[in-house]
Homo-oligomer: A and B are copies of this chain.
Amino acid sequence: MHHAKPLPSYLVKRYHGWKATSYSENQAWYRRLATEGQRPRAMVISCCDSRVHVTSIFGADQGEFFIHRNIANLVPPYEPDGERHGTSATIEYAVTALKVAHLIVLGHSQCGGVQGCIDMCKGEAPQLEAKESFVGRWMDILKPKFDLVSDVEDPAEQARQFERQAVVASLENLMTFPFVAEAVQNGSISLHGLWTDIGEGGLEYYDPSGKKFLPV
């Protein structure tokens, strides 16, 4: 590995600032977290998108949330076939090792992954349909939900509805994991679906009784 470079100096400076202030104020707790281990209350499955910071929105500090971030906050279905399943590994670790009490799926507006899936479903993204497209193959998880929004004419509205369906799809797929279903049924875990509007700072939660998202 010959290519790694030192950290850009603006990040070095910020790090030293954090060390002298936030770290210093919290040193005792961070040391305890290190020696005793984490005990996060919730796992959050969120998008990699740089505009979505779940810790900001919820004023969370180190130790509170176990966070998996991938393209479009998707959970694939349970497939114990001996292959690599990075997202499934995070869920397995959170539920069986850490025993988190909440599984929160956080979707968001202007999601590039979801838009790519729409483009694929409309036949407008041949590059994503190529076998070699990692993003395309990943977004295949969401494809079966496209029927639910294919009639929506306004493209922005269609995208927003499909982003919410990505959250519902992930919640549904979570329930295909035996250890999740069992934990839900015995009351040791609860599932939560959220969608946030990046520009307006809105937050909605999924209400399964009405099958829709409502403002929190």
Contact = CB atoms under 8 A, between A and B. Distances in A.
Interface of A: 1-41, 43, 48-53, 55-71, 74, 76, 80-94, 97, 99, 101-102, 104, 109-110, 112-113, 131-135, 137-141, 168, 171-172, 175, 183-184, 187-194, 197-201, 203, 205-208, 216
**Identical copies of this chain, number:** 4
A102 B66 contact: no
Nearest to A180: B3
Nearest to A49: B38
A199 B30 CA distance: 5
Contact of A50 (B67, B135, B184, B198): B67
Q: Is the interface of A mostly helix, strand, loop or mixed?
A: mixed
A39 B53 CA distance: 15
A29 B102 contact: yes
Given A90-B71, A110-B37, A187-B31, A56 B50 contact: no
Contacts of A30: 51, 198-199, 201
